[in-house]
Copies of this chain bind each other. A is one copy, B any other.
Amino acid sequence: MISGTSQRPVRLGLLGCGTVGGGVVKLLTDNAKYLGMRVGAPLEIARVLVRDEKKERVPELDRKLVTTDPELVLGDDTIDVIVETMGGLEPAREWVERAIENKRSVVTANKALLAAHGPDLVERAHAAGIDLAFEGSVGGGIPIIRTLREAFASDWVRSLTGIVNGTCNFVLTRMNEAGATFDEAVKEAQNKGYAEADPELDVGGHDAAHKLVVLAMLAFGARTDSKSVPTEGIRAIEPIDHRLAKRFGYVIKHLAVGRDAGEQIELRVHPALIAQSTPLANVSGVLNAIALEGAALGPCMLSGRGAGDMPTAVSVVADVLDVARALRSGVPGLMTRGIQMQVRKVVPIDELRSRYFLRFNVENKPGVLARIALALGDAGVTVEQMVQEEAPSGVHVVMTTHQAVEKELRKALVAIAAQTFVVRPTQVIRVV
């Protein structure tokens, strides 16, 4: 019964048919024969839910399958797998939960949904004995979820460091390479379709925080949510910071960082200086990358297109294949079996130990540097390297520090900010 494709089709109900959903329809159509052989049964698009029935769709889509009535998908007992590419929290959560309740396997690319309800959905899926697959939710076409779930099965992830937001990486790359301002780079990203009209979700770091929560669930077995992740965006980065970072041998990237710190875990999203020689420093433009450090495996990095219709669609269809094959082989639910999650406290950002890049814009007069150094010294912060250069007003005193506790550093910066010689607020960027 298993070999060949004589089995009855696996019927797919698609929720959403935008850029990613359209790509899924295209790939399912183009590769129907091969996928059918791999699954052991044909994959059949049974119904496609959209918001606007009149909107143009990919030519591969059979318009007769399109509906605006969710009941025709969710209420159809002949549908085996729900493929959710609509995005957003509601009604996606309600519909995915209903699908799980009705014992349908689910494939989703919805990072917001998973960041808010991931562990709960995984547990519901496990209890219902169905599969919940979500490779498309993080890193577009990069097979990071699969790698964490399967390849690392006998290893422990010590840390992960990711460039997981293509918009941020594009903006920072253009600022660094073309000397663009933040606003110019964002406009360019919008013109190229890499940034939304309202870019806040991306450049504010929130999208990266969602993805970090999903990664932390698999890498560290952590039940958490994006509200617990200290999150900073890239709005505060100025062209001069890129230039000075380069002078010190660094590149500025927007990073999602996770680390197993024993009882607690470290999770944080912020711009950071990373050494030019590290592999992540060379991940440019809209590319994403995730560097993992396994206890046994050592360093491992995956990179590729982190967004876009086709890369994400490839990930969704790979999930559909897994889920459909498990279903027709009579063994749904293996994907989440044995995955354990527990609430883990996130290290408060105040307690972080890190190195820092500091740029002070101060008056150019004797004694200023001494007073900065004194304030830092009082807080136990020691300077690693320092340069001073003229600013439009006064001078820039720029330095990197040795490891310091963030709380202590902030105390010193508050003390310095109170001084009359400060021309503009001090720039602080962590060094990873």
- Chain A interface residues (CB < 8 Å from chain B): 2-3, 23, 27-28, 30-31, 34-35, 37-40, 135, 141-143, 146-147, 150-155, 277, 279, 282-283, 287, 294, 296-305, 308, 310-311, 313-315, 317-318, 321-322, 325, 329-331, 333-334, 337-340
Contacts and interface: CB of A to CB of B under 8 A. Distances in A.
10 contacts: A31-B153, A34-B154, A37-B337, A135-B151, A141-B296, A143-B151, A150-B318, A150-B322, A294-B314, A298-B310
A150 B143 contact: yes
Contacts of A305: 297-300
Contact of A301 (B28, B302, B310): B302
A22 to B, nearest CB: 12
A337 B146 contact: no
Contacts of A287: 299
Nearest to A5: B338
B23 A296 contact: yes
A154 B321 contact: yes
Contacts of A141: 151, 294, 296-298, 300
A334 B330 contact: no
Contact of A155 (B152, B283, B314, B330): B314
B142 A300 contact: yes
Contact of A333 (B2, B153, B317, B333): B2
Nearest to A286: B298
A293 to B, nearest CB: 10
A6 to B, nearest CB: 14
Contacts of A283: 279
Given A38-B337, A155-B314, A298-B311, A150 B146 contact: yes
Contacts of A296: 23, 27, 141, 310-311, 313-314
Nearest to A291: B303
A317 B153 contact: yes
Which 9 pairs across A and B sit closest by C-beta, in order of nearness? A37-B338, A300-B304, A38-B338, A143-B151, A154-B317, A296-B310, A141-B297, A329-B331, A27-B154
Given A150-B321, A310-B296, A337-B38, A303 B301 contact: yes
Most buried by B among A3, A283, A300, A303: A300
A153 B36 CA distance: 11
A304 B300 CA distance: 4
A23 B282 CA distance: 33
A155 B23 CA distance: 12
Nearest to A151: B143
A42 B305 CA distance: 39
A321 B334 CA distance: 12
Contacts of A301: 301-304
A31 B296 CA distance: 12
Contacts of A337: 2-3, 37-38, 40
Contacts of A317: 153-154
A322 B146 CA distance: 12
